[in-house]
Every structure is written in C-alpha cells, then in structure tokens.
Structure 1
Amino acid sequence: MKNVKVLGPGCKRCDAAVQMVRDAAAQAGVEVTIEKVTDYAEIAGYGIASTPGLVVDGKVVHAGGLPKAADIARWIAA
C-alpha cells in the first residue's frame, strides 16, 4: 500500500490532485492511503513553496500545479 500526501491549503487544485491520485490508483489496481496536509509549517518542512505538492511514501515527487496523470501512475506504481 502506498502512502500519498497531498500538500496544500485545500484549494480546488489540491482537491483535483486528490481525485487524480484516486483515479490513477484505481486504474493501476494499487491501494493507496491519501492524507491531505494543510498545515503551512508541515508543508514548508517538505521544502515545497508552491502547491499542490505530492509526497509518495515520504518522498516529494511533485510541487506546484497539477501533475500529469501518467506521472502519478508511475509514482504510485514504483
């Protein structure tokens, strides 16, 4: 099971990122737990200045804007 954190203030792009992760996981048949992180201090702790950011199994894989669906699939399948 993959642990995915979506970092951001809870904006529409952050919500879209959560849905993109859910969709990619369903298509790949990968179980994921998704945690929304909205605390700015915690987000800054990951070194992310622009959101949304994605952290997969403790590793920052994306920051700023919406990632491509193919990239999300690759990150959660690894």
Structure 2
Amino acid sequence: MKIKVLGPGCANCVNLERATREAVAALGIDAEIEKVTDYAAIVGYGIMRTPGLVVDEQVVLSGRVPTAAQVRDILAPLVAGAAR
C-alpha cells in the first residue's frame, strides 16, 4: 500500500502524517508513507484544500485533519479489499 500525505508542511499536514503513521501501525499493515509538498503535484490530485490523503493513487481525504482512529476507519476497508 502506498500512502501520500499532501500538503506544504503546515501543522495540519504534520498532524495528518502522524495520525496516518499511528493508524498504519495500529492496523499492522505494510505501507509506504510519502510526503508530497509540491503544489503542482497536489493540485494534480484535485486537492484544493490541504492536507490531503491519497491511498494507492485514490484521494480518500482532503481539507481536514482526522484522528488516528478516523484514519484507521478509512484504511481498514482498503486493506480488506487489497487482501482479496
């Protein structure tokens, strides 16, 4: 699983990255987490408000900072779907 945290490096982006890392650890999944700070790349995903979260090239969240539990809720079905 490849996860991208989109944002310029603001506090919200840092918080989303932390919540994402916590969720990945809690789920025990093997995921590569990448920070994307390039504005052109962010806009290329259709994100107009950061931070954004992209999983396997699909935008799953933008414009807010979820808790680690909320990120877990977003990732869990994707992990289950990938296992099939």
User: TM exceeds 0.5?
Assistant: yes
Higher strand share: 1
Larger radius of gyration: 2
Query: Gaps (5+ residues) in structure 2?
Result: 79-84
Q: CA deviation at 1:65?
A: 1.6
Aligned partner of 2:65 in structure 1 is 66
Moved over 6 A (4+): none
Which one has a larger percent helix, Structure 1 or Structure 2?
2
Say whether the 8 Å CA contact 1:56–1:75 is kept in structure 2: no
Contact 1:24 1:72 in 2 (8 A): yes
Q: Give me the CA root mean square deviation.
A: 1.2
Query: Which residue of 2 is the match for residue 52 of structure 1?
Result: 51
Structure 1 regions of 5+ residues with no counterpart? Answer: none
Partner of 1:31: 30
**Aligned residue in 2 for 1:18:** 17
Looking at structure 2, the residues matched to 45 and 67 of structure 1 have their Cα atoms a distance apart, in angstroms, of: 22
Aligned residues: 77
Q: Secondary structure at the match of 1:51?
A: coil
TM-score relative to the length of structure 1: 0.90
Alpha-carbon separation, structure 1, partners of 2:14 and 2:5: 9
